[in-house]
Amino acid sequence: MKKTAAELATIVGGKLYGNAEQEIVDVRGAMDAGPEHVTFAQGVYAEHLEEFRAGLILVDKLPEKTTKNLIVCDDAKRGFSQLVELFHPETHVKPGIHPTAVVSPTAKVSPKAAVMPYCVIDDGAIVGDDTVLYPYVYIGRNAVVGQGCEIYPGAVIHENTVLGDRVVLRAHAVIGGQGFGFATDAQGHHNHIRQLGNVVLHDDVEIGACSTVDNSAMNSTVVGRGTKIDNLVHLGHNVEVGEDCFLCAQVGVAGSTKIGNHCILAGQAGITGHIHIVDNVILGGKTGVIGNITEPGEYVGYPARPHKEWSRSQVLVGHLSEMRKKLRQLEKTIQQLKEEQ
């Protein structure tokens, strides 16, 4: 496929500066793009446009001076994602149920859905229009999978789970498994308490590979509309995550915690149970949260503290050795003064 720079500007809704007839054949990353490629530049990358070899670059604002062909748009990264879809459209799976799939006679599978080899759909389950179940997917009893969902190989959707529309489960995600609930007797033996609730994933939620969302003890574990969850993330029973959140790799959230809307949890952040985090909170990598967060903002460290406060304390930590030497010197001086008296 070939497109001119002018055509691509129209597609992304941006304004072109440079050669309108420049031909583009593909998308590339900033460092790999050549004269026939389009890429994008934001943040620090936008400061090095003259070093790019790309034939066309999407940017958020026009620099004072440039020799490059540029498209200025509201969000360069989002515009670039449109061009990724243009040059590399997803393949569409034909609807139908593969002969090796096992589908309960009481399940309701849309004729517009695609059920690929070795899937299992249990009693009373519902699968909506235009949903694709890749090989080895399991849909449990009375589970509901909405329209336009993508369920990748090996994913497990346990009984009574409810998925909204356009939900994506990456390979081997497990939704609605038994929550980690136990009663410990006087002898120290742990006895499992059966969790009777379910999981509800609202529209446009994405769950990464090998991530797990446990079902609730009685009600629902909930992930809000538009939230994106990375690989190897765990949500405990009764957790509630708001809308349009990002949970990055290896985040762990203990049971009954509530997370607000538009929150970002960076890699390996850990959140204790039975707490509340308000909207618009960012947790840095490896942050440990052991209490409620009641004010929006960026938090880091263990226990979690506002970023500025944590930064000041880290500066002091760097001087501890020097401060220790000065303290010992002062102690010696004081001791000498006492002996002279």
Instruction: Please calculate the CA angle 252-228-155 and round it to the nearest 5 degrees.
Output: 75
Closest C-alpha to 141, from 173, 104, 170, 193: 104
Closest C-alpha to 138, from 114, 116, 111, 156: 156
Q: How far is CA 9 from CA 78, 130, 146, 209, in A?
A: 13, 31, 35, 35
Catalytic residue among 237, 274, 307, 319: 237
DSSP-derived secondary structure for 130-165: T-EE-TT-EE-TT-EE-TT-EE-TT-EE-TT-EE-T
- φ, ψ of residue 59 in degrees (nearest 5): -135, 165
**Does the annotation count 237 as an active-site position?**
yes
Residues 6 or more apart in contact with residue 81 via CB below 8 angstroms: none
- φ, ψ of residue 214 in degrees (nearest 5): -80, 150
Closest C-alpha to 300, from 314, 318, 317: 314
Contact 227, 241 (CB under 8 A): yes
Active-site residues, by number, are: 237
